[in-house]
Homo-oligomer: A and B are copies of this chain.
Amino acid sequence: MSYDALIAHARQTQALAEVAGRLGWDQETVMPRGAAGQRAEEMAAMEQVLHARRSDPQLGDWLAAVTPADEVEAAQVREIRRAFDRATRVPTDLAARIARVTSLAQGDWAAARAADDFAAFAPRLAEVVALKREEAAALASGGDLYDALLQDYEPGATAADLEAMFGALRPRLVALRDRILGAPQPPALTGTFPEAAQLEMARELAELFGYDLSRGRIDTAVHPFSSGSGADVRITTRTDPADPFNCFYSTIHEVGHATYEQRVDPAYALSPIGRGASMGVHESQSRIYENQLARSPAFAKWLFGRMQAKFGGLGVDTAQEFARTVNRVTPGFIRTESDEVQYNLHVLLRFDLERALIAGDLQVADLEEAWNARFFKDFGVKVPKASLGVLQDVHWSVGLFGYFPTYTLGNVYAGCLYQAMAADLPDLEADLAIGDLTAALAWLRPRLQVHGALRDGAETLRHATGHPPTEGPLLDYLEAKFGALYGL
């Protein structure tokens, strides 16, 4: 009785959350530019409706009375309780202040980044940090502040566990990176890549990787993203006439996110567990699609032939060279442009800095200096300007503290999944070399994707692979792959 009431309430809330999410899609893809002001009021009205539903006192009564009948009901109740606790613990006034300040901070961040002026942004960012610490205190009820924020993105994870995992990653990543940068570099792509042809091929790749276009669509936007769940999961991509890999690999990445949502058990549709288990697991799907599968030398061989047929000369002569080009490792300042090896070093830097900010051990006024010193230590080069350093990411301006580590967690999870998949599928490499993803996708769905948020992130991985997730498989995979590609 209480369960039925809870789930009916939650389904309606989820339907409204889908509507609010689609407003975001609309804003980034088709909204007339003059509609921004009105849209802000529409979004605020939807958020108010959602907050009222999530903190509805009736939920408290039902949650107190409910006895879940099985694992699925227990998971649904767990998710409803988490959302209810969050909505009721954070005072409405604080939530409103966070919404207002982060909305202003986004504009201030963009202006400061354009002007390469961190000092101009620091006072606003200090406000954001202070408000997020206040929110964390409300959520933590005496526990660790950063852990409290982390639960929004990776329920069940702790900073201490992540610190241990990341500590084990760092030395082997650094050693691998240094060996690669000392070796001869692969050639860059040259050629002509008309944007319409890139989009055609992006569509072909999306379908190859299992994206169901009858329940999704591909549009262009400034930033690639995936949006929605269940029967309406949309992705965006972008084109750069000089760099088709940007379009193709960002499309495959978003298809990883989108197909995860599309492949959740339809019985869970529009319910609390009818979506990805955590940001880390979500990122594991986008990453295994993009990296372990689509950047494998085997798949690169297929892509080489397909791109030659579509675009003509690529400035790269053999499939072997092409595989090296797809996996170029070069020095750089920007996380989002980074490669499989260095990407996690960018994330580890942010993880340590944001923990210090939330703990109160680092002040925003000292953040740029701390960033630059740490970057020099980790990458051996001096950050020349803030837009290539502390101002490069939007996350902190919008209050996303606790989000960054899930990027590396996703890579670690992808490493675990790929190890298990490769052990189960002896023909995987041969399949990839002819552009056949069928077996890989068929392996992932029943083990992981279909279960949605039935279990938390780490448990989802344990269920899929039979082992608790660790960093070892990712490191082994990177060392083997790049060792072979670079002849180390």
Which residues of A does B touch, CB under 8 Å? 11-12, 15-16, 18-19, 22-23, 26, 30-35, 37-39, 41-42, 44-46, 48-49, 212-217, 230-232, 234, 269-270
Contact = CB atoms under 8 A, between A and B. Distances in A.
Nearest to A212: B34
A34 B217 contact: no
Given A12-B48, A23-B19, A26-B22, A39 B214 contact: no
A162 to B, nearest CB: 35
Given A35-B232, A213-B32, A216-B32, A42 B26 contact: no
B215 A34 contact: yes
A19 B45 contact: yes
A46 B11 CA distance: 12
Nearest to A16: B45
A96 to B, nearest CB: 14
B41 A15 contact: yes
B16 A46 contact: yes
Given A12-B48, A19-B46, A34-B215, 12 more contacts: A12-B45, A30-B217, A31-B232, A32-B215, A32-B216, A32-B234, A34-B212, A38-B231, A38-B232, A38-B270, A39-B232, A41-B270
Contacts of A12: 45, 48
Contacts of A270: 38, 41
A214 B30 contact: no
A189 to B, nearest CB: 32
Contact of A38 (B26, B214, B217, B269): B269
A18 B42 contact: yes
A419 B49 CA distance: 48
Contacts of A214: 32-34
A232 B32 contact: yes
A35 B214 CA distance: 8
Given A214-B34, A215-B34, A230-B38, A49 B269 contact: no
6 contacts: A15-B38, A18-B42, A32-B234, A34-B212, A34-B215, A37-B231
B231 A15 contact: no
A46 B30 CA distance: 21
Given A12-B48, A26-B26, A48-B12, A19 B42 contact: yes
Contacts of A49: 16, 49
A34 B231 CA distance: 6
Contacts of A18: 38, 42
A99 to B, nearest CB: 15
A30 B30 contact: yes
Nearest to A262: B34
Nearest to A269: B38
Nearest to A19: B42
A207 to B, nearest CB: 13
Nearest to A234: B32
Nearest to A35: B232
Contacts of A231: 32, 34-35, 37-38
Contacts of A215: 32, 34-35
Nearest to A13: B45
A11 B40 CA distance: 13
A36 to B, nearest CB: 8
The interface centre, meaning the residue of A11, A213, A230 with most chain B CB atoms within 10 A of its CB, is A230
A376 to B, nearest CB: 45
Contacts of A19: 19, 23, 42, 45-46
A39 B270 CA distance: 11
A355 B86 CA distance: 54
A476 B416 CA distance: 81
